[in-house]
Amino acid sequence: MAALVNHQAPNFTLDSIEWANLSERTVQLADYSGSWLILIFYPRDFSFVCPTELIAFSAEIGEFQKRDCQLLGISVDSLELHREWLTTPREKGGLGPLQFPLASDGLGQTARAYGVWDGEKRVAQRGLFIIDPDGILQYSVIHNLSVGRGATEILRVVDALQTGGLCPATWTAADGTIDAESVLKPGQVLGHYRVKRLLGDGTFGSVFAAWDLRLHRDVAIKILKRDLTTSREALLAEARSAARLSHPNICTIYSVDEEAGLPSIAMEYLPGQHLGDLLKHPLSEARARSLAGQIATGMASAHQQNIVHGDLKPANVMVMPNDLVKILDFGLARTYRARNSPKGTAVVGQSGGQTMITELPEDDDPTTIIQFEQIAGKSEEDSFDVEETLLENDGRAFGLTGTPAYMSPEQCHGHPATPQSDVFSLGLILFESLMGHRAMSENNLLHLLLHLQEETLAEELAAQVPPAYQPLLSKMLAYDPALRPSMRTIESQLNQS
């Protein structure tokens, strides 16, 4: 069976020899762990075509090394014949100073494992395989004798694999990668999904309406952005955690996968309206109570399974035509566990009449504190969208994660989200639903974060809502997370008739 791309590359143990000192050594796939490896199979030493190809690859060894990529030539010939070929001058058909080793696969076992064994001629075909640092086969090709193998072409392929780009035939590393969001158009098929239309763009990626060709149903496909500073793998891992959730008030995640090199999340298609859009107009008290109660119900289920949302806000809540609430975009969701303050804890404060954010390194070394000072009316943060999600590794985020206008005080300090953080965020949503305007009205990021740290915030906001909601809201917005009620308690109080 031939080696398969995107699967573990077949192991090998081969004797090899290098031109530099003509020393012999045994090589295994494991020896190349942590580096890229190109296996170049060829039929015989002293053959007509092979010297030209191998010499061409040798001439570009510096370019391969820049890409942390090693080369290994393999044929059925013995080490003795390899030695003779390496020491024979090129004008007499030899290789001369080849810059990578040649290995002997005398019985063709490695050639068989990689699917390039010619049983009739008992030699390897001209196969080329690219293996990534984790030992996964990423590229394979078998060339006809009439088709030359060019080092430049293989360098282009390595560049494409290492950058994760979708690359046309004329692509070079200088061109950059193709923006998947811009090339996906209605009618195109991604995996087993046919794209219908773009639904919207968010912090983590673009969302498309699509048709599931296997299960014959509408779905929404989120394609993660390539330029995310936050690890795409981490986001996919969190999405897989959220996929465990099954509740009427939570958007169902069907699959988390990678199609054509594009990390994607397939989820329930929701033909409703974002709560953020609904809140542009006043809601009745009964409707505000119902919607907030449903959010609490869904989040109580998530918390019961130790899943925290981390970015609960109106834009991440969908309201269906029958007023059924669906919580979506668990993009910052995480499996909750007790942990210490993270590296990069953000602190907001004032000094000498100036407002600043400081980002403390893990060792709190004052010599490495990064300060962002803002003098009233002159900060570039004035134009920052406080309803936009911040990611911890974003250069603008100062170690923060979440949406400032719906963030808890502890998140403002750089701490990770907890169930109590979600409760605080829901308190801000409940206030907005009842009052018709955002609780944190500041559009300046620094002013907003300072306001969030005021211990009288709960009392200030609770006093503005109808009396029936004041006791609950003051607890939900308590500065001390330990004083906030659980989502199950909130659900019970809001859903009382």
What is the pLDDT at residue 74?
97
What is the pLDDT at residue 100?
96
Q: Please determine, for residue 262, whether its predicted confidence score (pLDDT) is greater than 70.
A: yes
Q: Please determine, for residue 468, whether its predicted confidence score (pLDDT) is greater than 60.
A: yes
Q: Please determine, for residue 394, whether its predicted confidence score (pLDDT) is greater than 50.
A: no
3-state helix, strand, coil in the chain (%, to 5): 30, 25, 45
Write out the two tokens for 257: 């996968």
From CA 329, how far away is CA 253, in angstroms rounded?
Answer: 10
Task: Tell me the mean pLDDT in the region 324-333.
Answer: 79
What is the pLDDT at residue 279?
94
CB contact burial 153-177 (16+ within 10 A = b; e otherwise): ebbbbbbbbbeebbbeeebebeeeb
From CA 219, how far away is CA 216, in angstroms rounded?
Answer: 9
Task: Tell me the mean pLDDT in the region 12-25.
Answer: 94
Q: Please determine, for residue 26, whether its predicted confidence score (pLDDT) is greater than 50.
A: yes
Q: What is the dihedral of CA 89, 90, 94, 97, to 10 degrees?
A: 80
* pTM of this prediction exceeds 0.75: no
What is the pLDDT at residue 231?
54
Confidence band, pLDDT 50/70/90 cuts, at residue 145: low
Q: How much of the chain, in percent, has pLDDT values that exceed 70?
A: 77
Q: What is the CATH T-level fold of the domain 180-268, as seen in this structure?
A: Phosphorylase Kinase; domain 1 (3.30.200)
Task: Tell me the mean pLDDT in the region 66-92.
Answer: 93
CATH architecture of 335-494: Orthogonal Bundle (1.10)
Q: Please determine, for residue 247, whether its predicted confidence score (pLDDT) is greater than 50.
A: yes
- Structural domain spans, the chain: 13-175, 180-268, 335-494
What is the pLDDT at residue 242?
79
Task: Tell me the mean pLDDT in the region 73-99.
Answer: 91
| Closest-CA residue to 25 (of 103, 119, 81, 78) | 103
Known catalytic residue: 50? yes
From CA 380, how far away is CA 164, in angstroms rounded?
Answer: 33
- Helix locations, 349-468, DSSP H: 409-412, 419-435, 445-452, 457-462
Contact 343, 354 (CB under 8 A): no
Tell me which of 114-123, 157-166, 206-215, 407-416 is least confident.
157-166
Tell me which of 179-193, 241-255, 275-289, 329-343 is least confident.
329-343
Q: What is the mean pLDDT of the chain?
A: 82
Confidence band, pLDDT 50/70/90 cuts, at residue 387: low
Instruction: For residue range 418-434, list pLDDT tens digits in order.
Output: 999 999 999 999 999 99
Strand 189-190 and strand 193-201: the pairing is: antiparallel
13-175 in CATH: which number? 3.40.30.10
Q: How much of the chain, in percent, has pLDDT values that exceed 90?
A: 53
Q: Would you put residue 428 in left (φ > 0), alpha (ψ -120 to 50) or beta? A: alpha
Instruction: For residue range 200-230, list pLDDT tens digits in order.
Output: 877 677 899 999 988 999 999 988 776 554 5
Confidence band, pLDDT 50/70/90 cuts, at residue 388: low
Q: Would you put residue 68 in left (φ > 0), alpha (ψ -120 to 50) or beta? A: left
Q: Please determine, for residue 14, whether its predicted confidence score (pLDDT) is greater than 90.
A: yes
Q: Please determine, for residue 117, whether its predicted confidence score (pLDDT) is greater than 60.
A: yes
Q: Please determine, for residue 43, whether its predicted confidence score (pLDDT) is greater than 60.
A: yes
416 versus 187: the higher-pLDDT residue is 416
Tell me which of 117-131, 322-336, 411-425 is least confident.
322-336
Q: Please determine, for residue 173, whether its predicted confidence score (pLDDT) is greater than 70.
A: no
Q: Please determine, for residue 303, whether its predicted confidence score (pLDDT) is greater than 90.
A: yes
Task: Tell me the mean pLDDT in the region 175-183.
Answer: 55
User: Among the options 50, 69, 251, 412, which is catalytic?
Assistant: 50
Asked if the domains 180-268 and 335-494 are classified in one and the same CATH topology, the answer is no
